[in-house]
Amino acid sequence: MTIAPTIYAQRRARLLTQMQRGIAIIPTAPEVARNADTHYSYRHDSNFYYLSGFTEPEAVLVLVAGDEPQAILFCREKNLEREIWDGHRFGPDAAREQFGFDAAYSIAQLDEKLAELMGNQPALFYPLGGDAAWDQRILKLRSAVQEKKRSGIRAPDEIRDVRALLNEMRLFKDKHELDIMRRAATISTAAHKRAMQFTRPDRFEYQVEAELLHEFCSHGARHPAYTSIVAGGANACVLHYVGNDAKLRDGDLLLIDAGCEVDGYASDITRTFPVNGKFSAAQKDVYEIVLAAQAAAIAAALPSQTWDAPHDAALRVLAQGFVDLKLCHGSVDEVLESESYKKFYMHRTGHWLGMDVHDVGDYKIGDNWRALQPGMVLTVEPGCYIRPADDVPLALWNIGIRIEDDVVITAQGNEVLTDAAPKTVADIEELMRNA
Ligand code: GLY
Ligand code: MN
Ligand code: MN
């Protein structure tokens, strides 16, 4: 926990104020089996962590709003036998003290205590539909409380998705969160540099992936924020390529979309560069268009602009570029109107970034794209993916390029967290020349 317990307590207090009345139940994520006796590396639930800072599995946060608000943690009990096998557990007493909850109980008491705590609460706030097993369990508990109505105990009438409140809180990053995201970005930019310096023809995509992971882990980022995409040549035209098992070929480009997670916060960077260290003329032509589109998008990521401004700015540059390259035909307005650019650019230009790589937060308020505001963090990631086709110039076949940076909206404009990863043709070629 690098953020002080008081900050988590302030977040809980803000949520409690917004709830006004009722009870919130926020479980952490389950452990997930990979195969016999083996689990995927454990990752806590982001909402639970945002409000608790607690990273153990088998834990639930309960908040009771009203005149005497309460924050209660349910977690695993101390258990010497289990701790010999699996490691340290806080146990309720130490967790309450160190994380600053009003009360803490064993997770084994959850159903019994929740049945009490839910009684006579007007509203139940819960991440509805987030996990089928939890949905069933919570609804069953509510039914059990309903059974007590002849004793004068009422179950919550209203069930609300607590994420509606939490998503909006999480969308605006405070200075503690931004500090962590800056650290994640710094480690990830170093990893991209390392990958550029390591890359050569005949090395394998997974060997480059190993360099990325090495750099992440060496600097304390134990996990990538998402599975790294290391895509040589035509593989770059597969948007979610994660096979990472092909040999890199002289003359191809390599697209790497990789970022580490630090203290629960993601970074998300894409760079595309030549396997042999020198862009061909055709590769450079396409690359410069994507780079210009990204510059235009970053220049539009400003407070007072709306969410779609960076996307629109990138699209206009890409559309002009696609006309120049004879990939699309007609005027820029016609290309935009007909959406013929979608054959080569089929995704949007970014997403919110935070604890989740595709972070929470609405993109529209009502029918309108929302305004960008200080504290929001987004990615800016235009691309161009050219699959072989009869009506596509042969020299451009299988060129796949994306350039992605992480951008914080500030009062004055924006801050690009991931600038240290080279992205001009000259900077990339220089770094690779000196490898
Ligand atoms: N790495 C996932 C994305 O760029 O959205
Ligand atoms: Mn992204
Ligand atoms: Mn990405």
DSSP state of 370: P
Spatial separation of the C-alpha atoms in residues 235 and 373, rounded to whole Å? 36
Q: Report the SS3 class of residue 27.
A: strand
Domain with CATH 3.40.350.10 in the chain: 5-169
Q: Given 3.90.230.10, 3.40.50.20, 3.40.710.10, 3.40.50.150, which CATH number is that of 172-433?
A: 3.90.230.10
Do residues 404 and 269 make contact, with C-beta atoms less than 8 angstroms apart?
yes
Whether the pTM exceeds 0.85: the reply is yes
Spatial separation of the C-alpha atoms in residues 18 and 20, rounded to whole Å? 5
Q: Which mutation among 351, 385, 403, 406 tests ligand 1's pocket best, with the greatest number of atoms within 8 A of CB? A: 351
Give the number of whichever ligand sits closest to the CA of residue 225. Answer: 1
Q: Is 357 in the pocket of ligand 1 (CB under 6 A)?
A: yes
Question: Quick one: tokens of 288?
Answer: 């410069």
Beta-ladder partners of 152: none
Domain 5-169 has CATH 3.60.150.10: no
Q: Is 226 in the pocket of ligand 1 (CB under 6 A)?
A: yes
Q: Output the CA 268–ligand 3 centroid distance in Å.
A: 5
Shortest-distance atom of ligand 1 to CA 351:
5
Query: What was the pLDDT predicted at 1?
Result: 53
- Mean pLDDT by groups of 10 residues along the chain of 435 residues: 90 98 98 96 98 98 96 98 96 98 98 96 96 95 92 94 98 97 98 98 98 98 98 98 98 98 98 98 98 98 97 98 98 98 98 98 98 98 98 97 98 98 98 93
Q: Report the SS3 class of residue 58.
A: coil
Say what angle helices 5-19 and 163-171 make with each other, to 10 degrees.
Answer: 130
Query: What was the pLDDT predicted at 248?
Result: 98
User: For 320-329, how does the pLDDT look when each residue is reduced to its tens digit (9 = 90+)?
Assistant: 999 999 999 9
Domain with CATH 3.90.230.10 in the chain: 172-433
Amino acid at 138: I
Do residues 173 and 181 make contact, with C-beta atoms less than 8 angstroms apart?
yes
Q: Is 257 in the pocket of ligand 1 (CB under 6 A)?
A: yes
Do residues 106 and 137 make contact, with C-beta atoms less than 8 angstroms apart?
no
